[in-house]
Amino acid sequence: MREASPKGSQWLSQLRQVGPGAIVASASIGAGETVLAVRAGAWGGYDLLWLILIATITKSFLTLYLLGRYAAVSGQTVAEKLVDFPGPRGWLLWLILGLEAVVAPFVFVVIAVPSGRLMTEIVASVGLVLSYKWFALTFVTLAILAGIFQRYETLERSQAVVCLVLLACTLLASILVRPEIGSIFKGFFRFGYFPAYPEWLPLEIKSRSRVLELASVFGYAGSIAMNYIVYSNWILIKGWTVGRSGSDRKHALKPLKWDVFFTASLILLVTAAFMIAGAAILAPSQKIPSGYDLLTEQASIFAQISPLMIPLYYVIILAALWGTLNALPEIYGRGAHSFLQQLLPQGKKLRYSLVMKVFGFTLLLLTWVFIWTETTPIVMIDLVALFSTNVGVGLTCIAAVWLDGQLPPEQRTAKPVRWAGIAAAAVISFMAAVSAWAVVMRYL
């Protein structure tokens, strides 16, 4: 009789099956997690962990699953059906595409510039002095060029490696900072609790509405709208469809369920780890770096814990930010191609490689301009949080619920999942409204 495989080998086998979820997770762990989550932990302690939990469940779990499931069951991308969303033909696709096009360069800048400053700090330790702009420009250029020309299979494998590095390093870092375990547990379940700003906060941050800060943290605890939508395209590329599997629907959806579970778990663990680091290290020392210098100042503070924290911190941050920059061209390019195929009269004739190059090089040019002119970082962070990660994802979650309802009754998801999706859409839409109100009050 054949012996059963040990549980460890089963887990390794499951990890080898992780597919597009690795891209979603890696692209999700960027500026928001390494900047806003740490800052929120510094002033809010462990009490805002519930915000990360809700954001992960609503966006990286329910929204992603519903979109991926629609593609797996129907055999078509979500864009093919969303073009017929109630209202004028294609209006939702045009709106999401427009929102993403507006904020896309900002997404690259808020990741590239902190990376450049961090690399400047690293080379300065060996006596080499160079402007952070050159490092930022080089970093973002390499990432975008690699993203434009690499194959999907290469991207998926490389992002899986990035995810495993992030998971291992953040778990080790969380142990080294010696957090309060009881406070962590309580923080995950203090739903709706908004701690007040501490008195020691600098005016730059204290002058910002807590509502705006919390809405931005919620928005960045996940990914951009296009990332979730393009997930359906990747499901089809992988062949994870019910029709192709030749088996019952429950068995056919197993790869999708595992992929979504892995994605949501990784995003939750890594984002929470950054917030915990802020609560354990920055809050007691009453330090909260701001602006583009956040990463470099964090490095010096974390180094006080242990010499091991210095290289570990550099690996975590640069791996996270490289993974995001490298995945974004595929996300924007494939999403734009999928949308334009449905929206333009001759869209079916559009070649993916052409759309990818046009979008990729346009984004690269705009990113260069914003980096060189030193556009204010926090303004860009707020705009991305509003238009893409809150409003855009809110619309995407509503669309995901609608898509499930368009399937034949016997192919729809179970009622508890459907109602959970409706609740998720309500939560994200509420946060989008809060974000919009806060941005208007601050900047207009």
Interval 238-280: pLDDT, tens: 988 887 555 567 777 888 999 999 999 999 988 898 888 888 8
Among candidate residues 46, 315, 35, the one with its CA nearest the CA of residue 172: 315
Predicted local confidence at residue 304, as pLDDT: 59
pLDDT in tens, 3-17: 445 555 555 555 556
Inform me whether the pLDDT recorded for 305 exceeds 90.
Answer: no
Structure confidence by residue, pLDDT tens digits, 342-386? 999 888 889 998 999 998 899 899 989 888 887 666 677 777 777
Residue 2 has pLDDT above 50, yes or no: no
User: pLDDT per residue over 147-199, tens digit each?
Assistant: 888 888 888 888 888 888 777 777 777 777 788 899 999 999 999 898 999 98
pLDDT of 59 reads 95
- With bands split at pLDDT 50, 70 and 90, how would you rate the model's confidence at 298? low
Segment 69-90 mean pLDDT:
94
Average model confidence (pLDDT) for the chain? 84
Going along the chain from its start, the domains and CATH numbers come out as 16-443 (1.20.1740.10)
**Confidence at residue 300, expressed as pLDDT on a 0 to 100 scale:** 57
Per-residue pLDDT at 48: 93
Report which of 210, 183, 181 is spatially closest to residue 196, judged by C-alpha positions.
210
pLDDT at 107: 83
